[in-house]
Each structure stands twice: as structure tokens, then as C-alpha cells.
Homo-oligomer: A and B are copies of this chain.
Amino acid sequence: MEINSATEAFAALSQETRLRAFRLLVRAGPAGLPAGEIARTLGAAPSTLSTHLGLLQRAGLVSSERRSRQVVYRADFDGAGALMRFLMEDCCKGHKTVRAAVRAALGDEAAAA
């Protein structure tokens, strides 16, 4: 991942409504959620959410698929993984504190390694 993709992804997550939308989609898993439901859940206008989801998509963090009349959005875990990896490798690799925090988040089996 190069620096421009990284800033784009960080920008996508730098706004509360968008970060909430992304987390909602992560929790929804592979089934995803239709655009309208996300807008209703977050209490914003459909057009506003559409703009936000478009930005998340261009940043590679979500994908969309039309399903009849609805457009279903899903978290893009490859994209999210690439961003995590960028942060680790380009920013924090080799630094004990960060490695420990990440191992803790991964779970104990990784922490034991």
C-alpha cells in the first residue's frame, strides 16, 4: 500500500458518521446491509450516507452490490487488512509497545508466540 491509498483510507475513517457506518458493516459481516438501513440506523439523510459510502468504497474499505431494488454494502476485509498492515509495517514495525498492543488484540494464542 502506498502513501496516497493510506491517506485516503485514513480520511475515510476520520469522520464519525463514516467510522460508525464502517463498524456497522464489520459487525454485519458477509451479509452486509442495504444503504437505506445504514442511513436509518445512523440518523442521517440517504443522500448524505450515499456520499459517505461512496467515499469508503473508493478508499477500498467497503464494497457494494445491487440486490434488486436495494444496494447492499459490505466491509472489505482485504482493504481493512491492507490498512492494518500499512500501519504496522510503515509506521510501527519493530516497536515493542505496538507489537504488544496488537498481540493483545489478536488474542492470547498469538501473545504467547
Contacts and interface: CB of A to CB of B under 8 A. Distances in A.
A8 to B, nearest CB: 8
Interface string A1-36: 001101110110111100110110010000000000
A83 interface: yes
A10 B13 contact: yes
Given A101-B85, A105-B88, A95 B13 contact: no
A110 B106 CA distance: 10
B106 A99 contact: yes
B81 A100 contact: yes
Interface string A68-86: 0000000001101111110
A19 B106 CA distance: 25
